[in-house]
Structure 1
Amino acid sequence: MSAVEKTEKTERLSVLKTYKLYVGGKFPRSESGRVYEVTDPKGKWLANAPLSSRKDARDAVVAARKAFGGWSGATAYNRGQILYRVAEMLEGRKEQFVREVADAEGLSKAKAAAQVDAAIDRWVWYAGWTDKIAQVVGGGNPVAGPFFNLSTPEPTGVVAVLAPQESSFLGLVSVIAPVIATGNTAIVIASERSPLPALSLGEVLATSDLPGGVVNVLSGKTAEIAAPLAAHQDVNAIDLAGADDVLAKELEIAAADNLKRVVRPQAVDYSATPGIDRMTAFLETKTVWHPTGSLGASGSSY
């Protein structure tokens, strides 16, 4: 028997995937060095995920704030192109996400594939809204006097997002995409029980055109990571989609200290076409007055 034939008959060792956090465009391990076991609904071990610490949460805030200026200052059309590129990258890695969603939620391959397809379509849907939302929620206001009065939406800033606990990928995309489509940056706490699709999404974002720090993904105990984010003075808003009633109340109280915008947890059918509520939740309205009439000898007007 040749050496090649012997090699073919030898059973290969499994190459297990190492999952890491995604912070500031890089893939650090948890600052604490801790991990926790992720299992499927039947208790079968799937992977070890990083157990994020408070320090990891603070690092994510720094990265998100650093990225905010460039991302919010980009044109809406450019943001739409970048979000569409993310959808392209997701399409190319669809099989991986189908497997991870099936394992995470205990679904058949066909049902998991439907979830992944819907998530990619949802990402494209939000990509199309980037240069349209301003026309829907902004505009000119009637005034009595020689003025133009214009209202335009602007991003709130750094948004902490508690991803849904049950919908590991479709729900995840449904809460991340509207935040960044409108020019905000995000710190995402992945589903505590099913974090693997979120951590893999970080790998997709890193290989797309999305600037580092626009989305930061943490995994671990939701309550442990969310508490410092809710109290952080440099976090402007928080989406409590993945919090239970008790945790949501605690985080709302902490968020009130610097008047954060808060989206409270509610029953959501993530398979339904979303409205624009999650986009407008993290927009501020700026109103500007412009005088009408000519300007000096040039004769130009506002």
Structure 2
Amino acid sequence: MKVSEQQSRLSVFKTYKLYVGGKFPRSESGRVYEVTDPKGGRWLANAPLSSRKDARDAVVAARKAVPGWSGATAYNRGQVLYRVAEMLEGRREQFAREVAEAEGLSKSRAAAAVDAAVDRWVWYAGWTDKIAQIAGGANPVAGPFFNLSTPEPTGVVAVLAPQESSLLGLVSVLAPVIATGNAAVVVAAERSPLPALSFGEVLASSDVPAGVVNILSGRTAELAAPLAAHQDVNGLDLTGAAADLAVDLEVSAADTLKRVRRPAPAPEDWTADPGTGRLTAWLETKTVWHPIGV
């Protein structure tokens, strides 16, 4: 008996996983949570519900990646970032669909957001070997010395991704962190984590070394607390934190002297010119004195 074409096979739903240390683990707790369409409440997928252990594992992976990534030439980092943009462009249709479902956008608006994300990634790729010319330089001093200031990466930066922009916002906060030689632990948007988790697949198929970017999904408040208190995290981007949560996290981060970028007082326009503020936010300045030879 012939089976109709509709009954010949079952639908294969995508299994979303975390991206930690260049691999795709499930949450160590085995927990998941439902992600739904913001307009109709339609079930989209089960996303991993990361635990504090997952957050700690991500920090360990990021710390291991810092020496190699920060030690690479700025030109090389730019090439790697450009490769990420290439891979994202190649999966444009998939991301347009995921962004449309995640944010309740039309196909055309979602496609525009993906295009903007690709362009934003290319933009930051171009800054890798230029930011030192803005953030550093020779300082005038009264004496027979050279006094030179140069920017250096902060280290491991925990990033709470924007809640309202699942891909363009994610790229806008992540790209400047790694463009300047830092490693990142990203907490994806709680309500719409799927584009971020798929972005991990883009990173894995590009030239980004394992551990430079680690992506977690789950409850923002649950994951942010251990990251803010972790002694091996050097910076904290609170963009995706609610106002009351951001205050608590900033207090916790002060115990370990982290660099903290507070959330904007008003919703950010992710389509606007980003400027260089997020690049310089994750740079330390090293100043060297050297006598002038006679």
Q: TM-score, normalised by structure 2?
A: 0.97
Is the partner of 1:21 in helix, strand or coil? coil
In 1: Cα distance, 2:135 partner to 2:224 partner: 30
Is the partner of 2:17 in helix, strand or coil? coil
Aligned position for 2:291: 291
| CA-CA distance at 1:10 after TM superposition | 3.5
Alignment partner of 1:140 out of 130, 134, 138: 138
Aligned position for 1:18: 15
| CA-CA distance at 1:184 after TM superposition | 0.4
Aligned position for 1:94: 92
Alignment partner of 2:36 out of 27, 34, 39: 39
Aligned position for 2:165: 167
Q: How do 1:60-209 and structure 2 match up within 5 A?
A: 60-209=58-207
What percent identity do the matched residue pairs reach? 80
1:5-30 C-alpha deviation (Å, 9 max, x unpaired): x5646443111000000000000000
Alignment partner of 2:221 out of 214, 223, 232: 223
Aligned position for 1:298: none
Alignment partner of 2:245 out of 244, 247, 251: 247
* Count of residues paired in the alignment: 291
1:44-75 C-alpha deviation (Å, 9 max, x unpaired): 00000000000000000000000000000000
User: What is the identity, as a one-letter code, of the residue corresponding to 1:40?
Assistant: D
- Any gaps of 5 or more consecutive residues in structure 2? none
- Any gaps of 5 or more consecutive residues in structure 1? 295-302
In 2: Cα distance, 1:147 partner to 1:256 partner: 36
| CA-CA distance at 1:291 after TM superposition | 1.1
In 2: Cα distance, 1:199 partner to 1:242 partner: 16
In 2: Cα distance, 1:118 partner to 1:232 partner: 33
User: What is the identity, as a one-letter code, of the residue corresponding to 1:98?
Assistant: A
User: What is the identity, as a one-letter code, of the residue corresponding to 2:159?
Assistant: V
2:68 matched to 1:50? Answer: no
In 2: Cα distance, 1:14 partner to 1:246 partner: 42
Alignment partner of 1:210 out of 208, 211, 218: 208
* Alpha carbons of structure 1 residues 121 and 12: separation in structure 2 relative to 1, 3 Å: same
User: What is the identity, as a one-letter code, of the residue corresponding to 1:270?
Assistant: W
1:255-287 C-alpha deviation (Å, 9 max, x unpaired): 000110100000321010101111101100000
In 2: Cα distance, 1:7 partner to 1:142 partner: 81
Aligned position for 1:280: 280
| CA-CA distance at 1:245 after TM superposition | 0.6
In 2: Cα distance, 1:256 partner to 1:188 partner: 20
Q: TM-score, normalised by structure 1?
A: 0.95
In 2: Cα distance, 1:169 partner to 1:271 partner: 12
Is the partner of 1:258 in helix, strand or coil? coil
In 1: Cα distance, 2:189 partner to 2:6 partner: 40
Aligned position for 1:300: none
Alignment partner of 1:261 out of 251, 259, 262: 259
In 2: Cα distance, 1:9 partner to 1:161 partner: 44
RMSD: 1.1
> If you compute each CA radius of gyration, which structure gives the higher value, 1 or 2?
1
